[in-house]
Amino acid sequence: MSKLIAKNVFQLPKMNLLLLTTSAFLLALDVIFYKIAIGPAYFQVSFGFLSMACIGYIYGPIWGGLLEVISDVLNFTIFGSGAFQVAFLLTAFLGGFIDGLFLYRKSVNWLSVIMTQVLVMLFVSLIMDSWLISILFGTNFKVLLLGRLVRVLIQIPLQVIAIFYFIKALEKRHVFDRIRLR
């Protein structure tokens, strides 16, 4: 497990102007990526997972989780779909936290990206979100779980491939080195 998780992963980054501006930029990117979705309404796939992975990769689990909570609030405030539910902020935090836990302070590799997406998609998106939806709307948990399972199983390999090559491309071009983020 020590190869999957870097040392000192739970330290918050030092607050400075660079941290705040890059955080704001990545938050804006996250909001835009979540709004861009492809596919029919019942099977929409957005690209928000790419910015979430970058946030975790750059800032780690704590800051990544906090930025995802802020992103969730911004998405609701700007686009407002349905009623705001505080319980979903926990799943937003966990998604960013898991990304940061496995991607922070390391060169991205297949195992860390697979672990990240399996945990985020199966535990957070499938199980926790389905459970919260079943509680909030009084629907059957098993029905929700089975209905969402196919989508999640299709998304996991697609997201793993996209995240791996997206971050590898940024690493190869030394994007993070140029702005002194890693």
Which of 38, 76, 70, 78 has its CA nearest to residue 51?
A: 70
Residue 157 included in any domain: yes
Residue 152 included in any domain: yes
**CA gap 72, 31 in Å, rounded:** 8
- 92-112: pLDDT as tens digits: 999 999 999 999 988 899 999
Residue 11 included in any domain: no
- 31-65: pLDDT as tens digits: 899 888 888 876 778 899 999 999 999 999 999 99
CATH of the domain at 163: 1.10.1760.20
Residue 5 included in any domain: no
Residue 134 included in any domain: yes
| Residue 80: predicted pLDDT | 77
Residue 59 included in any domain: yes
Residue 93 included in any domain: yes
Global pTM exceeds 0.85: yes
Element (H, E) at 46: strand 45-46
For residue 159, give its domain range: 17-178
C-alpha separations of 99 from 1, 27, 39, 43, 146 in Å: 15, 15, 25, 23, 25
Residue 26 included in any domain: yes
Q: How many domains does the chain have?
A: 1
Band (pLDDT 50/70/90 cuts) for residue 174 is confident
Measured on CA atoms in the order 153, 74, 134, 39, is the torsion positive or negative? negative
Range 100-133 burial, b when 16+ CB lie within 10 A, else e? bbbbbeeebeeebbbbbbebbbeebbbbbbbebb
| Residue 90: predicted pLDDT | 96
